């Protein structure tokens, strides 16, 4: 490119895009910050800022493995500050709680330590363009007792907390089983989406590993894991044949699946159904429903849905403000067939890439392109027992179902692609080798 053209492009960029702020360091937000930092930040063409309430990133589809101890989150987590240093963007720790569109600023809540002493005061961060990528959280639909008695798996903190509760519960159950031959440990999960189904399988794997490490008074048949689903089948977002295959695998493990079952209340004893039946459970998990965080409701006067998702145009710009984009689970965009873009990691990944390209088009004064979700298929990993799913979702009008070892390889490759987007091929290769070494030298289960 001619030097004069480069100079003109730089002036244009400085006039419209001095600062890009991304809120949310999940799969989409962190990948976008990394790409923008490598392109704009490295050349000092624009300031790239990433905001997240946590210091580290962990791929959300792995949270159920952290919760059961199959994965040590301390090994796989990524430091936002280190990533910012390596990829030329600035990281701010904090939780966004407001948006001032008139001043083009976001508001970050103050941060306090465990003694309630203030670490950082409330802060304001200005932007020229803002990308909201804060993800989603589980929707308990206001069910009485859900917040008080259920565990949730929306964050690394919640997964770590559940892991401790699980170990303590199992230790107590193993002691009881030593005294009572008829003792049973009941674990019930509300929601038969990917999280609920994968968690159920991982719980059986965890129990098997704990028996191998000496907690063997509680026998396999004394562990009762059940999944409670309001719909007609498990994995309702996936094709029926994949749902059926996963259901068969769960039956082999001994997981009880209860469909068309509505929970009206949660108590310490378990779940009460709409028909007045008690499903007993010492350990209760709620993994049904998805919504954006409560603070996003009518955020800055933007259009939102009943589940607090921000409505966006096909360009992924918000319907009322072209300087604000929203991607991932916190955004709502209708596809040409009238269905919304599904809340999946692959959608967040594709939207992050699309916003990156649209920001480049803005710099070059080109027309923005519409986002088209390309369903690559879906995979459900049932721990070490099996993996089922489909590939090529809507390509050529059909899909190909895969199971077993091949499906497991493809499932692992999805995480590797996320790592490649953040670290490049060479570092991802080293991380993969390191993971294999850890499987040899470390326990198969995190025991603390």
Encode pLDDT of 22-59 as tens digits: 999 998 999 999 999 999 999 999 999 999 999 999 99
Domains and CATH numbers, the chain: 3-136+292-374 (3.50.50.100), 140-286 (3.50.50.100)
pLDDT at 403 over 80: no
Which pLDDT value is given to residue 11? 46
Q: How far apart are CA 33 and CA 71, in angstroms?
A: 26
pLDDT at 299 over 80: yes
Confidence of residue 344 (pLDDT cuts 50, 70, 90): confident
Taking a C-beta distance cutoff of 8 angstroms, is the pair 356, 362 a contact? no
Q: Which of 211-220, 312-321, 330-339, 393-402 is predicted least confidently?
A: 393-402
Which pLDDT value is given to residue 199? 96
Dig out the tokens for 148 from the structure.
């008080």
Encode pLDDT of 103-136 as tens digits: 999 999 999 998 999 999 999 999 999 999 999 9
> In the chain, what is the straight-line distance between the N-terminal and C-terminal CA atoms, in Å?
57
Q: Which long-range contacts (CB under 8 A, 24 or more apart) does 386-395 make?
A: 386/201, 386/249, 387/411, 388/242, 388/245, 388/246, 388/249, 389/238, 389/242, 390/238, 390/239, 390/242
Taking a C-beta distance cutoff of 8 angstroms, is the pair 133, 28 a contact? yes
Confidence of residue 394 (pLDDT cuts 50, 70, 90): very low
Which pLDDT value is given to residue 5? 47
Whole-prediction pTM value? 0.89
3-state secondary structure 278-318: EEECCEEEECCCEECCHHHCCHHHCCECCCCCEEECCCCEE
Q: Is 188 left (phi over 0), alpha (psi -120 to 50) or beta?
A: beta
Taking a C-beta distance cutoff of 8 angstroms, is the pair 33, 89 a contact? yes
């Amino acid at each position: 490119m001619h030097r004069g053209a480069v100079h003109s492009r730089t002036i244009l960029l400085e006039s419209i895009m001095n600062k890009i702020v991304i809120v949310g360091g999940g799969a989409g937000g962190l990948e976008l910050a990394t790409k923008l930092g490598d392109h704009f930040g490295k050349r000092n063409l624009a300031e790239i800022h990433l905001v997240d309430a946590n210091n580290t990133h962990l791929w959300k589809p792995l949270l159920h493995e952290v919760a059961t101890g199959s994965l040590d989150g301390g090994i796989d987590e990524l430091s936002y500050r280190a990533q910012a240093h390596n990829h030329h963007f600035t990281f701010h720790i904090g939780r966004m709680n407001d948006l001032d569109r008139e001043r083009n600023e976001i508001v970050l809540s103050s941060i306090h330590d465990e003694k309630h002493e203030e670490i950082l005061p409330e802060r304001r961060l200005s932007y020229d363009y803002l990308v909201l990528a804060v993800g989603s959280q589980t929707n308990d639909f206001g069910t009485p007792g859900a917040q008080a008695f259920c565990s949730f798996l929306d964050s690394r903190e919640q997964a770590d907390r559940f892991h401790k509760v699980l170990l303590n519960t199992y230790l107590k159950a193993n002691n009881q089983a030593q005294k009572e031959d008829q003792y049973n440990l009941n674990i019930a999960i509300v929601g038969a989406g990917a999280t609920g189904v994968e968690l159920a399988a991982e719980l059986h794997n965890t129990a098997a590993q704990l028996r191998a490490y000496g907690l063997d008074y509680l026998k396999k048949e004394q562990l009762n894991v059940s999944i409670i689903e309001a719909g007609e089948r498990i994995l309702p977002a996936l094709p029926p044949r994949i749902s059926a295959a996963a259901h068969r695998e769960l039956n082999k493990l001994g997981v009880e699946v209860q469909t068309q079952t509505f929970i009206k209340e949660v108590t310490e004893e378990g779940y009460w159904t709409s028909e007045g039946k008690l499903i007993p459970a010492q350990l209760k998990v709620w993994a049904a429903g998805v919504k954006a965080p409560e603070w996003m409701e009518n955020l800055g006067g933007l259009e939102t849905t009943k589940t607090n998702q921000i409505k966006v145009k096909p360009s992924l710009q918000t319907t009322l403000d072209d300087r604000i984009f929203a991607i991932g689970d916190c955004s709502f965009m209708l596809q040409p067939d009238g269905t919304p873009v599904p809340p999946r990691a692959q959608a967040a990944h594709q939207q992050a890439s699309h916003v990156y390209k649209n920001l480049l088009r803005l710099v070059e004064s080109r027309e923005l392109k519409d986002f088209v979700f390309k369903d690559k298929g879906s995979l459900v990993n049932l721990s070490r027992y099996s993996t089922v799913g489909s590939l090529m979702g809507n390509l050529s009008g059909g899909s190909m179902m895969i199971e077993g070892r091949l499906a497991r390889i493809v499932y692992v490759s999805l995480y590797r692609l996320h790592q490649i987007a953040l670290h490049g091929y060479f570092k991802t290769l080293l991380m993969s080798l390191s993971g294999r070494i850890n499987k040899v030298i470390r326990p198969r289960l995190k025991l603390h």
